Chain A
Amino acid sequence: MDRILRDKKAIFIFVAPALTLFIVVLVIPIFQMIFYSFCNYAALTPPEFIGWANYKKLFTNDQTFRIALKNSIFFMIFSAVTQQVIGLFLAVLLTNIKRGRNLFKNIIYLPCVLSSAALGLLWAFLFNPKIGINALLAKFGVRGPLWLMDSKGFIPLPMWVIAFVALWQYVGQNMMLYMAQITGISKELYEASYVDGANKRQSFRYITMPLVRPMVITSLSLNCIGSLKFFDLVYNMTQGGPNHRTEVLATELYAEGFNYFKYGYASAISVVLLIMCLAVTLIIRKAIKVETYES
């Protein structure tokens, strides 16, 4: 029996196709991208090695990149905080009701499975200056702001709008993760705590919170990587405008790479994005591990 499960040929046949595809399509291109990031590569001419010049320009002399980096970080922090808090809040609410739990759960989760390209367009129309929300406000005599066109402030209004739409779309994901975790906590635990005279708030504080903590790693990593990768909503709501004020790393990468065809420069942006994703994942794992040991 052991012989069968140690069959080298079979293992090779099972693993090789997936592994080959993975190496050719994912791993080699990552190294290629790192190489390109040190090149002056303009699509129609062959790459030419220029050392750190792309990175130097990126960090010292590219205002649009700085805006994109700022927006991406804002977006990551905003999504992480709001989606965690509201997701957990909704999960607790929903586990506390008996009737209609599935209905509400499914409604709130619905946008997660819809195309964010389509939803982005939908919301862009709702935030259009003439139709949509502003027309509704006008009925009450309120003059709505230019939701997607304002350019003032450190984080301009359109960025907040996009962040709220993203929250609307994806908070269901976190809610579901936490609900799964909470419903996994055994009833006896709660009942025992009530017998011991604990009230609801205490049982939340001392039972629910510690037990959902492991889930925080998963949902926080999902949030952070997801928001760093963010492209569809921005592209379809503002295309990075007005005047690049809502550019994020992914849209900036797309613009540099596929509008200006500066492959080398766009690769440098990819490297920054990759490092940020890996760093965020490691930091979350490290930080939360420490916390679990403490408790």
Chain B
Amino acid sequence: MSTIQNSNTAAAGTAAADHKKPVRPGTVIIYLFLVFMAVIYLAPLVWIVLVSLKDNAGVNTDPFGWPGVLHFENYVQAFTMGKLGYAILNSLLVCGVTLVVSLFLGCMASFAIARMKWKLSEFINTFFMIGLMVPVHCILIPLFVRFAHLGLTNSRFGLMIPYITFSLSTVIFLMVNFFRSMPGEIFEAAAIDGCSIYRIFFTIAVPLSRTGLFVAGIMTFVGNWNELLMAMVFISDPMKKTLPVTLTYFVGPYATNYVQMFAAIVIAIAPTITVYCMFSNQIVDGLTAGAVKG
């Protein structure tokens, strides 16, 4: 976790060396370049908001101008016709449950692997890491066949199962490292005081690992929120589709009612952008810390 604090507080070495010198042309060029990059990153997002407020004729004649009349009805239509409301609720449900269950199961397993003493712990740890290397595509067909027989396709519960499984690898990887970085004395002291192993886990280990859980939680949630392939294969009922799937079906790049689709895209990415703006530092650092460890 040290990297998180570092990037937040300490300035980089080279930047510190700059400190005493006056502003140089080099710095100006760097800033110009960074502003240019920021434009490249933000322009498509601004554009989509602008065109989503036009009508179809306006999009065709002048796709880059400022919208004259603001057509907010595009959003209403996109929301109702595209069933985006259901999609957002479905995504929240699937990702939320996945988050809770995978954190819970993953945290328990990580605690046993990192802090308890048994022969196979290293092997099991490596075993869980398979999930980081195997692409989800590889198990799509066997899983689909099996779930089909169990009646778990076309069900949100069925979708959660593979999501939880793949999230477990991430959670266990992060949490094993996290538990290992905790000082062992806390647990020893608790054990000497006569705490049972379950109490040590629930009242000491879990509360102390909130930072780790936050990082793991963000990583799983973002990953599952954006997942398309598995959701597309598993769910066919329009009322059960998650957000990326609903969007993909509703918005074909080749279909013709542009403005509603633009509005749908905006509706789909707006919640993420809002949350990101509110917690950007935590999210960016959390995801990076997760990836560094991974």
Contact = CB atoms under 8 A, between A and B. Distances in A.
A and B touch in the complex (CB under 8 A): yes
Q: Which 9 A-B pairs have the closest CB atoms?
A: A190-B13, A124-B253, A95-B12, A14-B112, A32-B142, A117-B244, A29-B142, A29-B139, A18-B109
Nearest to A237: B253
B138 A33 contact: yes
Nearest to B34: A104
B66 interface: no
14 contacts: A7-B197, A17-B105, A29-B142, A96-B15, A104-B34, A114-B226, A118-B265, A125-B258, A180-B3, A181-B3, A190-B13, A263-B145, A270-B140, A273-B135
Nearest to B193: A1
B204 to A, nearest CB: 12
A27 B146 CA distance: 13
Interface in B5-32: 6-7, 10-19, 27, 30-31
A100 to B, nearest CB: 7
B18 A15 contact: no
A116 B265 CA distance: 11
Nearest to B47: A126
Interface in B240-289: 243-245, 247-248, 251, 253, 258, 261-262, 265, 268-269, 272-273, 276, 280-281, 283-284, 287-289
Contact of A117 (B15, B161, B228, B273): B228
B41 A131 contact: no
A208 B17 CA distance: 14
A123 B44 contact: yes
B164 interface: yes
Given A1-B188, A10-B112, A97-B30, A25 B18 contact: no
Nearest to B171: A18
B222 interface: yes
Given A121-B247, A121-B265, A200-B14, A253 B137 contact: yes
A84 interface: no
A288 interface: no
Interface string A232-264: 100111000000000001100110011000010
Interface residues of A, number: 117
Contacts of B134: 26, 30, 274, 277
Given A27-B130, A135-B64, A98 B11 contact: yes
Interface residues of B, number: 111
B6 to A, nearest CB: 5
A182 B273 CA distance: 27
Interface of B: 2-3, 6-7, 10-19, 27, 30-31, 33-34, 37-38, 40-42, 44-45, 47-48, 51, 59-60, 62-64, 105-106, 108-109, 111-113, 115-118, 124, 127-128, 130-131, 133-143, 145-146, 161-162, 164-166, 168, 172, 187-188, 191-192, 196-198, 200-201, 222, 225-226, 228-229, 233, 243-245, 247-248, 251, 253, 258, 261-262, 265, 268-269, 272-273, 276, 280-281, 283-284, 287-289, 291-292, 294
Given A114-B272, A114-B273, A270-B137, A121 B6 contact: no
A278 B16 CA distance: 42
Given A11-B118, A107-B42, A125 B140 contact: no
Interface string A183-217: 11111111100100000100110011000000100
Contacts of A53: none
A126 B222 CA distance: 25
Given A112-B287, A118-B244, A236 B253 contact: yes
A11 B112 contact: yes
